[in-house]
């Protein structure tokens, strides 16, 4: 075939494939069978192979995924991608409406849009061609993920007009794609994604676009960031224009003439949300007039012309049959309710947290009780209350054991704590959980060593402590269920690579009490080698900024144990690095986190996490936790019985979250 003939055929194929893809992925109305689309795509691939100089950047073939990147580049947003303030009730929405009308008058219309549960991105087009895509990041700077976004069929690579445009949207994983992905992960013995949002974010932050291409993601656009050469006077007209350009705009977006209409819209979707083929966690309400956007402006963090209504946690009734006891890596014994299966917030729940013995007593929980269950932040199932009026007399009292359910050691309650602990360092449950922590992402980050694989290794007595991971043999691994040759080779490679980690990862992975990811980094920077840290006294440790008395005493006690010194000697013999390798980017700087660079105050009683755990999570994500509220505070997280700190935050206008919102943001990160 002559080159000019190939060029003509390739151009015709691209246009045909674009049209078929638009009808299939954007309009959800396919006009040809999949086999016809595949035949045309394969023909285009064949021609591009023969004439690579004729390949265009907007060819449908780029959706298959190109070569992997070595790292993500930073992208500065020309117009900041700000987050939204939250409303949790109809009264909150009326207060928002009142503030708007006080500034712009009573003639206000709103646009209601579903709040998609995915990853916010910006897409940039030049002369109608897609040239760059980026994550939201901190709102000012994101990461360039163009290579992954090109694999999403719902994103047009070429628009129907040659415009200069920057548009915002939400990349998400449809429910059916999520179920398929997790089924494949389970079959491979890998850790499953917790929810579609995490799966979508994880897919788009892959350096290899071929992985993203296999995840079957989609995207809705919801606003224009910048547009050259055209003027829009309302947000709703902007959505309609994006639809005309070929973008996927959600058809449930509705213009409302009053706040009563807005509230009716939110109430309707509270009931209908689970009917959708994708996850939503609320409704976004925006003033329609763009002129009013200008007049209303912004606070330091949020636009005054928009808010996000968050759905209330869904509560359901079921029966509590048993209480299971789990021993964590620190020895804490946690009770978990085993329930009759019930649908909560779109997923079937069979287990729910009971936190500790005090809570069981406080709520008077008995085996056989009819209980109310909800998901905190639509994520973590918990028992809210007992319906005592439904008791029949057959219910049975529950008492926490006096001995560890795993090793039968005496349980103890340490001074100032509500939790019962097993203090036996040889307890198999603690060892198993410690192994899972050791290989986790913020610790040694060993890919392929999920909870199921660790449990298999432990059950087959291939590992008894973390040092044993470095002496695993290929032939032993091949005997395990769902471990093929490729999986085993990848796992052994990942274990070998982890030997080169910097000291802070090893310190965090060892699970020294009170030493979180940030403290591990601080200790590694200060002492530089494991040997130096081992020999440090409490006085040496207290001289380090951010190391307090409890942590210093815990570190000294840890290194004084003979079994710890033996373990470290085994790790050293296996070739595991014991040195700090310089100021490399922290894990918290490699993820899109709300908390990065923020100063946070915790107040009141948290039910999902201890105060120390909450602080560790924030610090691992790049935030700083302080004890007092001031003008420099960015966020206050208020648990139950929050007092003066919450009031001071309200007085100073500081962002205030309840625990459910806090847990939700931790899960997003």
Q: Which are the catalytic amino acids?
A: 115
Measured in degrees and rounded to the nearest 5, phi and psi for residue 254 equal -135, 140
Question: Residue 585, Cβ neighbours under 10 Å: how many?
Answer: 8
In whole angstroms, give the CA distance from residue 647 to residue 640.
Answer: 13
CA 351 to chain centre: 21
Q: In this structure, how many other beta carbons lie within 10 angstroms of the beta carbon of residue 382?
A: 19
Burial letters for 459-474: b for 16+ Cβ neighbours within 10 Å, e otherwise? eeebbeebbbbbebee
Tokens of 586: 């922290």
- Nearest to 81, CA basis, from 243, 237, 306: 306
Q: State CA 534 to chain mean position distance.
A: 35
CA distances from 495 to 278, 462, 463, 498, 558 (A): 36, 15, 14, 5, 25
H helices within 583-634, ranges in order? 611-620
> Residue 10 to residues 1, 13, 34, 47, 635: CA-CA distances in angstroms?
12, 5, 19, 7, 55
Q: Let me know: does 649 contact 633? Beta carbons within 8 Å.
A: yes
CA distance to 438, 520, 569, 615, 655, per residue, from 507 (Å): 9, 6, 14, 18, 34
CA distance 527 to 534: 9
As given in the structure block, the two tokens for residue 299 are 């606070």
Q: What region does 11 belong to: left with phi over 0, alpha with psi -120 to 50, or beta?
A: alpha
- Pick from 444, 478, 482, 484: which is nearest to 462 by CA? 478
Cα distance between residue 399 and residue 421, in whole Å: 15
- The structure tokens 């039910």 sit at 607
Alpha helices in 209-366 (DSSP H): 209-213, 235-245, 259-272, 290-296, 357-362
Residue listed under structure tokens 């350096």 = 207
Non-local (6+) Cβ contacts of 569 within 8 A are none
Instruction: Note the residue count of the chain.
Output: 669
Helix, coil or strand: residue 342: strand
The rounded distance, in Å, linking the Cα atoms of 619 and 7 is: 55
């Amino acid at each position: 075939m002559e080159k000019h003939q190939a060029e003509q055929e390739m151009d015709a194929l691209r246009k045909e494939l674009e049209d078929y893809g638009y009808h299939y992925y954007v309009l959800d109305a396919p006009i040809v069978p999949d086999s016809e689309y595949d035949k045309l795509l394969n023909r285009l691939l064949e021609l591009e192979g023969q004439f690579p100089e004729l390949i265009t950047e907007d060819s449908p073939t780029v959706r298959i995924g190109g070569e992997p990147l070595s790292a993500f580049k930073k992208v500065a947003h020309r117009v900041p991608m700000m987050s939204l303030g939250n409303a949790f009730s109809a009264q909150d929405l009326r207060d928002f409406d009142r503030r708007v009308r006080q500034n712009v008058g009573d003639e206000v219309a709103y646009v209601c849009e579903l709040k998609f549960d995915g990853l916010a991105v910006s897409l940039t087009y030049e002369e109608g061609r897609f040239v760059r895509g980026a994550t939201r990041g901190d709102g000012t700077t994101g990461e360039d993920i163009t290579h992954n976004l090109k694999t999403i069929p719902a994103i047009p690579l070429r628009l129907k007009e040659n415009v200069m445009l920057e548009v915002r949207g939400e990349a998400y994983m449809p429910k059916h794609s999520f179920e398929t992905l997790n089924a494949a992960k389970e079959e491979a013995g890998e850790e499953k994604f917790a929810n579609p949002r995490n799966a979508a974010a994880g897919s788009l932050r892959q350096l290899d676009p071929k992985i993203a291409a296999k995840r079957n993601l989609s995207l809705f656009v919801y606003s224009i960031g910048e547009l050259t050469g055209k003027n829009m006077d309302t947000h709703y007209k902007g959505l309609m224009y994006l639809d005309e350009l070929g973008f996927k705009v959600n058809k449930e977006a509705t213009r409302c003439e009053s706040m009563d209409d807005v509230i009716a819209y939110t109430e309707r979707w509270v009931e209908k949300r689970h009917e959708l083929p994708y996850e939503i966690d609320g409704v976004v309400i925006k003033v329609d007039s763009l002129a009013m956007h200008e007049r209303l402006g912004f606070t330091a963090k949020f636009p005054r012309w928009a808010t996000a209504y968050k759905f209330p946690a869904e509560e359901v009734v079921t029966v509590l049959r048993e209480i299971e006891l789990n021993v964590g890596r620190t020895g804490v014994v946690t009770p978990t309710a085993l329930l009759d299966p019930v649908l909560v917030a779109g997923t079937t729940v069979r287990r729910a947290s009971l936190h500790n013995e005090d809570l069981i007593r406080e709520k008077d929980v008995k085996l056989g009780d009819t209980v109310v269950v909800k998901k905190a932040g639509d994520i973590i199932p918990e028992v809210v209350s007992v319906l005592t009026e439904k008791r029949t007399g057959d219910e049975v009292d529950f008492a926490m054991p006096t001995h560890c359910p795993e090793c039968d050691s005496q349980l103890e309650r340490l001074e100032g704590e509500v939790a019962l602990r097993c203090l036996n360092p040889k307890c198999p449950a603690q060892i198993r959980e410690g192994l899972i922590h050791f290989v986790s992402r913020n610790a040694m980050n060993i890919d392929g060593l999920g909870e199921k694989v660790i449990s298999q290794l432990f059950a087959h007595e291939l590992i008894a402590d973390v040092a044993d991971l470095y002496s695993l043999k290929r032939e032993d691994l091949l005997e395990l269920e769902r471990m093929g040759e490729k999986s085993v080779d990848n796992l052994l490679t990942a274990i070998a690579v982890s030997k080169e980690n910097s000291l802070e990862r090893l310190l965090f992975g060892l699970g020294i009490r009170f030493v979180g990811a940030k403290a591990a980094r601080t200790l590694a920077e200060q002492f530089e080698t494991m040997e130096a840290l081992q020999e440090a006294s409490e006085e040496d440790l207290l001289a380090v900024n951010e190391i307090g008395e409890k942590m210093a005493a815990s570190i000294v006690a840890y290194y004084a144990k003979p079994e710890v010194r033996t373990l470290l000697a085994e790790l050293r013999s296996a070739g595991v690095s014991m040195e700090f390798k310089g100021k490399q980017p922290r894990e918290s700087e490699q993820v899109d986190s709300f908390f990065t660079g923020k100063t946070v105050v915790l107040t009141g009683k948290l039910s999902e996490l201890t105060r120390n755990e909450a602080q560790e999570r924030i610090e691992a994500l790049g935030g700083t936790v302080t004890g007092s509220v001031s003008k420099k505070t960015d966020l206050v997280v208020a648990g139950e019985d929050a007092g003066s700190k919450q009031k001071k935050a309200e007085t100073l206008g500081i962002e205030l979250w309840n625990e459910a919102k806090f847990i939700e943001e931790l899960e997003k990160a």
